[in-house]
Amino acid sequence: MNKALVVLSGGQDSTTCLYWAMNEFGHENVSSLSFDYGQRHKIELESAKKVAEIAAVTHEILPIDTFSVLGGNALTDNIDVDDTQEASHASQLPNTFVPGRNLIFLTFAAAYAYQRGINHLITGVTQTDYSGYPDCRENTLSSLEQTLRLGMEYAITIHTPLMNLNKSDTVLMAEKFGAMDAMAYTHTCYNGEQPPCGHCQACLLRAKGFAEADRADPLVERFQFFQD
């Protein structure tokens, strides 16, 4: 049996990965997992739930309270997101960075998978993203896969279908695997607005991807429908 677990943030990328996984492993073999780590915008978790519902796959939310005591960062604390992406730390990372966040998510996801006999983890990370998060890069994920295999004595594989794709390619992949209906309920806006603010870095990047792929964004269309 090839059971697969998709780490679902409720965003465009992980939603695309969910449909990729359904194509790769078969719909009945795919489940999804989100993390409630005290993110400022609960709409992310609502989006993940809605996406899983549309895709008709199992979805669970794991709480991680620990982040709140680890130290300040813009995505969990109630401080302004710095759109200029200036560094909050000497290593020149944007101030939305929770150090090792993805490592923590994926290690929890692996432990969850282990308990359920799931051997495949799918995450929507990409190293072509503007953010430059070191825990989203291919060499980090390869090293983590090795660590998890050794540390759990378990043959787990981490899949990163979007690793080397740009946003435009991701849009075309979403279309190819039938993710566009769910895409209308994904969340991207850094400011947590619905309809999306349209001017934060995340909204601009999303719009650029759809424009370059020459496709309409189902999320934008959903709100335009109500506005017309």
In the complex, the residues that contact its own copies under the rule CB under 8 A are 60, 62-66, 69-71, 91, 93, 98-104, 107-108, 110-112, 114-116, 134-135, 137, 139-140, 143-144, 146-148, 150-154
Q: What are phi and psi of 102, to 5 degrees?
A: -65, -35
Which one, 28 or 60, has the nearer CB to its own copies? 60
Closest distance between its own copies and the C-beta of residue 72, in Å?
8
In one-letter notation, the amino acid at residue 147 is: T
Nearer Cβ to its own copies (78/90)? 90
What residue type is 83 in one-letter code?
D
Shortest distance in whole angstroms from residue 170 CB to its own copies: 22
Tokens for 191? 């400011």
C-beta closer to its own copies: residue 134 or 192? 134
Q: Are strands 4-7 and 120-122 parallel, antiparallel or unpaired?
A: parallel
For residue 36, the minimal CB distance to its own copies (Å) is 10
Q: Among residues 65 and 80, whose Cβ is nearest to its own copies?
A: 65
What is the nearest approach in angstroms of its own copies to the Cβ of residue 60? 8
Encoding tokens for residue 218? 């189902």
Based on CB atoms, which residue is closest to its own copies, 69 or 80? Answer: 69
Shortest reach from residue 55's CB to its own copies, in Å: 22
30 membership: H or E segment, kind and range: strand 30-36
Closest contact distance (angstroms) between CB of 43 and its own copies is 22
Residue 130 per-residue DSSP state:
T
Packing angle, helices 201-212 and 167-176, rounded to 10? 60
Q: Whose Cβ is closer to its own copies: residue 52's or residue 183's?
A: 52
| Measured distance CA(185)–CA(180) in Å, rounded | 9
Judged by DSSP in three states, 219 sits in: helix
DSSP 134-157: GGGSHHHHHHHHHHHHHHHT---E
CA 71, 76, 79, 83 torsion-angle sign: positive
Do 220 and 209 form a contact (C-beta atoms < 8 A)?
Answer: no
